[in-house]
Chains A and B, each alone.
Chain A
Amino acid sequence: MSSAKLPPLPAILLANDLLDGDVVFRTATGWSRNPTEALIAQDTASATALEAEGRTAMAGNHVVDAYLVDVEISDAGIPVPRHFRERFRILGPSIRPDLGKQAEFPAIRDAAHD
């Protein structure tokens, strides 16, 4: 499978956990449910490597639907997607601040609302 066109950088890799459906992020060592731990690809080589990790994890039946998302880096160094769709994805429903990652990981909520 040839890799699709890369998004603008920097970027992170996100996917859904196969078993739970939860959004997960590729980190330096594996996958995390915590968006603040996402590994940030700053250049083409690392973005391509990240994407390859996604394909491996999909083939290995750990995650589904892995793709790169372009981000901005907050003052606290946390990656926040540039596009509103992906921003909602890593936060949770905007109408239910008590649910999703925004509730579980306040740091991502603060970074996204900066």
Chain B
Amino acid sequence: MYRYDEFDERFVRERVAQFRDQVNRRLSGAITEDEFKPLRLKNGVYLQLHAYMLRIAIPYGTLSARQLRQLALIGEKFDRGYGHFTTRQNLQFNWPRLRDVPEILDLLADVEMHCIQTSGNCIRNVTADQFSGVAADEIEDPRPVAELIRQWSSAHPEFSYLPRKFKIAVTGAAHDRAAVKVHDIGLRIVRNTAGETGYEIIVGGGLGRTPMIGKVVRDFLPKGDLLAYLEALMRVYNAEGRRDNKYKARVKILVHEIGIEEFQARVEAEFAALDRTTINADREEVARIAAYFAAPPYEKRPAVSQTYQAARAANPAFAAWADVNVTPHKAPGYAALTISLKGIGAVPGDMTSEQMRAAAGLAERYSFGELRVTHAQNLVLPHVAQDDLFAVWKALGNARLAEANVGLITDIIACPGLDYCALATARSIPIAQALSQRFADPARQREIGPLGIKISGCINACGHHHVGNIGILGLEKRGEESYQITLGGDATENAALGDILGPGLTAAEVPDAIERLVEVYLGQRNTGEAFIDTVRRLGIAPFKAAFLQEIDHAAA
């Protein structure tokens, strides 16, 4: 894992000291709320419906057991004993007191964590494939480049006051698990015909009010040119992105308004004019960063573990869990294991301090002390020997963390919604809970197969509803919560935005409506065809018909 150097350490500690001073000045009345608000936001402190909220960055979703233990401690000591993992691979505490935040930031700095750039119009925490460095289908670990971008963008003077927030996601694998096409910049590590690795740069994706799929602005960028190219791209956006209207300020709108060719031409012109050598990272620095992400000392193991196979054969519940929660690993005899934070009826992404300690303990014992956070609000133990999978599964069961549903219909992404969020128009968590309960039967979940439901509590789309196979958006209609359902969204390399099926539903109507969509799929799928592929093949018409049928009944 990346370790802070002296510069990082000093930078983070100075920020804590500054914030402590800012809080004191706020409390003494020396600065007003209008002056203080941007300062607290720069340190991840939001004011939500019931309390302040603290958003902690987990860069590219990589977390050490030690860090997770510290989060458990903070949750217990300063919050209500739990935290919430978000779709940006961050962790949020829902109840911190402002007076305690400087102390919390110190505790975070003790384990090389912070809340910088988790808010505001800057380049935010860079997210990455949760299986970076371990995925069998990976060209290269994307985390060194994510870390390079983090260092380059942290407090970058030119890009600290962008027209709007800016989100970057990276992946090194063919299969996109990081939703790179719905980020301001998506970066894919690719190989050209000469066999060299470089970057495909995708720009202008995003969700929210105006959802868009990103477009390729450079299909192959030599690795050494990355920072200069990003600098050129950011300059074009910084200069030309709209500052007059917050809803039109994201780079996606600029790309959309001038067209990708024109945007590309402007970026290339800027890039050509830059003195690349002064901007690009030097080789030694790149090598220094990359060294931190070297693979852990795996033991030499046979590719297939007899112990694992025997445990599978003897224990169907374990086999069912492993079928969906275990992912193939680069290293022979190892596996990456996803810990579902989606227990039936639980709050998606919530984890108690006790569970954090349990997961940290397992990471220490079985995964070289390392964990990952997924954008789907789950955790990963990235390096587990197949021989140990059964023991880990049993231990997870004791911590109520062994739900066998990764990628299935109850593995629902849901933003905090109106249970916590000040911007929400409706609740999202209770919808997730009702659906989770409706589809709780494990056999039925397996029968349905991969199906992603994503729920947002307002148009800001933190719950990624546009790219859910089934998306649910909570709105307000005539003083009531109302839910708009979309179908056919996809967050992967086949990124697509869902289509709206019909008029909004009440919360109570949602489970039946989703059930009807699932029934259409089960009735019409070809053998082995996933939900999203059936939707693609049939189009939305049959689903829409089933969806509307019942609504007409209700209205009649």
* B51 touching A21, Cβ below 8 Å: yes
Kindly state whether residue A4 has any CB partner on chain B within 8 Å: no
Interface residues as binary, B57-75 with A (CB distance below 8 Å gives 1, 0 otherwise): 0000000000000000000
Q: How far is the CA of A78 from the CA of B5 in the complex (A)?
A: 57
> How many Å from the CB of B493 to the closest CB on chain A?
34
Range of interface residues on B (Cβ < 8 Å): 20 to 34
B-chain residues with CB within 8 Å of residue A21 when the two chains form the complex = 47-48, 50-52, 95-98
> How many Å from the CB of B44 to the closest CB on chain A?
14
Q: How far is the CA of A101 from the CA of B341 in the complex (A)?
A: 26
A19: nearest chain-B partner, CB-CB? B99
> How many Å from the CB of B48 to the closest CB on chain A?
8
Interface residues as binary, A6-44 with B (CB distance below 8 Å gives 1, 0 otherwise): 000000000010111111000000000000000000000
> How many Å from the CB of B103 to the closest CB on chain A?
14
Kindly state whether residue B33 has any CB partner on chain A within 8 Å: yes
* B50 touching A89, Cβ below 8 Å: yes
B-chain residues with CB within 8 Å of residue A92 when the two chains form the complex = 50
* A16 touching B97, Cβ below 8 Å: no
* B481 touching A18, Cβ below 8 Å: no
B-chain residues with CB within 8 Å of residue A22 when the two chains form the complex = 50-51
B-chain residues with CB within 8 Å of residue A84 when the two chains form the complex = 418, 479-481
Which of B376-384, B427-435, B527-535 faces chain A? B427-435
B-chain residues with CB within 8 Å of residue A16 when the two chains form the complex = 47, 51
Please give the residue numbers on chain A whose beta carbons come within 8 Å of chain B beta carbons, in ascending order. 16, 18-23, 58, 60-61, 64-65, 83-85, 88-89, 92-96, 99-100
* A64 touching B418, Cβ below 8 Å: no
> Which of chain B's residues 422-449 have a Cβ closer than 8 Å to chain A?
424, 427, 429-430, 433
* A58 touching B33, Cβ below 8 Å: yes
Q: How far is the CA of A23 from the CA of B481 in the complex (A)?
A: 23
A-B contact pairs, 13 of them (CB 8 A): A18-B98, A19-B99, A21-B50, A21-B52, A21-B97, A61-B26, A61-B33, A84-B479, A85-B418, A89-B49, A89-B50, A93-B50, A95-B430
B27 touches which of A61, A83, A89, A99 (Cβ 8 Å) = A61
* A94 touching B427, Cβ below 8 Å: yes
* B33 touching A19, Cβ below 8 Å: no
Majority secondary structure of chain A interface residues (helix, strand, loop or mixed): loop
> How many Å from the CB of B343 to the closest CB on chain A?
13
B345: nearest chain-A partner, CB-CB? A95
A93 touches which of B47, B96, B97, B420 (Cβ 8 Å) = B420
- In addition to A19-B27, A85-B418, 18 A-B residue pairs with Cβ atoms within 8 Å of each other are A18-B33, A19-B99, A21-B47, A21-B51, A21-B96, A21-B98, A23-B49, A61-B32, A84-B479, A84-B480, A85-B49, A88-B49, A93-B50, A94-B427, A94-B430, A95-B347, A95-B433, A96-B347
A64 touches which of B33, B96, B430, B480 (Cβ 8 Å) = B33
The 10 A-B residue pairs whose C-beta atoms are closest, nearest first, are A21-B52, A93-B419, A21-B51, A61-B29, A20-B97, A95-B429, A89-B49, A64-B33, A19-B99, A95-B419
Q: How far is the CA of A84 from the CA of B507 in the complex (A)?
A: 13
* B26 touching A20, Cβ below 8 Å: no
B-chain residues with CB within 8 Å of residue A58 when the two chains form the complex = 33
* B26 touching A18, Cβ below 8 Å: yes
Q: How far is the CA of A58 from the CA of B154 in the complex (A)?
A: 33
Interface residues as binary, B23-38 with A (CB distance below 8 Å gives 1, 0 otherwise): 0001101001100000
> How many Å from the CB of B152 to the closest CB on chain A?
34
Kindly state whether residue B80 has any CB partner on chain A within 8 Å: yes
A58: nearest chain-B partner, CB-CB? B33
> Which of chain B's residues 502-555 have a Cβ closer than 8 Å to chain A?
none
> How many Å from the CB of A5 to the closest CB on chain B?
18
* A83 touching B51, Cβ below 8 Å: no
> How many Å from the CB of A113 to the closest CB on chain B?
15
B-chain residues with CB within 8 Å of residue A95 when the two chains form the complex = 347, 419, 427, 429-430, 433
Q: How far is the CA of A94 from the CA of B427 in the complex (A)?
A: 9
A94: nearest chain-B partner, CB-CB? B419
Q: How far is the CA of A60 from the CA of B33 in the complex (A)?
A: 10
> How many Å from the CB of A39 to the closest CB on chain B?
21
Q: How far is the CA of A96 from the CA of B98 in the complex (A)?
A: 22
A-chain residues with CB within 8 Å of residue B420 when the two chains form the complex = 93
Interface residues as binary, B97-112 with A (CB distance below 8 Å gives 1, 0 otherwise): 1110000000000000
A85: nearest chain-B partner, CB-CB? B418
* A18 touching B50, Cβ below 8 Å: no
> How many Å from the CB of A101 to the closest CB on chain B?
8
Q: How far is the CA of A77 from the CA of B480 in the complex (A)?
A: 24
B-chain residues with CB within 8 Å of residue A23 when the two chains form the complex = 49-50
> How many Å from the CB of B345 to the closest CB on chain A?
10
Most chain B CB within 10 A, of A21, A65, A83, is at A21
A88: nearest chain-B partner, CB-CB? B418
> How many Å from the CB of A94 to the closest CB on chain B?
6
Q: How far is the CA of A89 from the CA of B427 in the complex (A)?
A: 12
Interface residues as binary, B173-200 with A (CB distance below 8 Å gives 1, 0 otherwise): 0000000000000000000000000000
> How many Å from the CB of A81 to the closest CB on chain B?
12
Q: How far is the CA of A83 from the CA of B481 in the complex (A)?
A: 11
> How many Å from the CB of A16 to the closest CB on chain B?
6
Q: How far is the CA of A88 from the CA of B418 in the complex (A)?
A: 8
> How many Å from the CB of B80 to the closest CB on chain A?
6
B481: nearest chain-A partner, CB-CB? A84
A100 and B33 contact, Cβ closer than 8 Å, known pairs A19-B27, A85-B418 = no
A-chain residues with CB within 8 Å of residue B481 when the two chains form the complex = 84
A98: nearest chain-B partner, CB-CB? B80
Q: How far is the CA of A88 from the CA of B429 in the complex (A)?
A: 13
A20 and B98 contact, Cβ closer than 8 Å, known pairs A84-B481, A93-B50, A100-B50 = yes
> Which of chain B's residues 333-389 have a Cβ closer than 8 Å to chain A?
347
> How many Å from the CB of A17 to the closest CB on chain B?
9
* A65 touching B47, Cβ below 8 Å: yes
Q: How far is the CA of A95 from the CA of B94 in the complex (A)?
A: 13
B23: nearest chain-A partner, CB-CB? A19
> How many Å from the CB of B424 to the closest CB on chain A?
8
> How many Å from the CB of B61 to the closest CB on chain A?
25
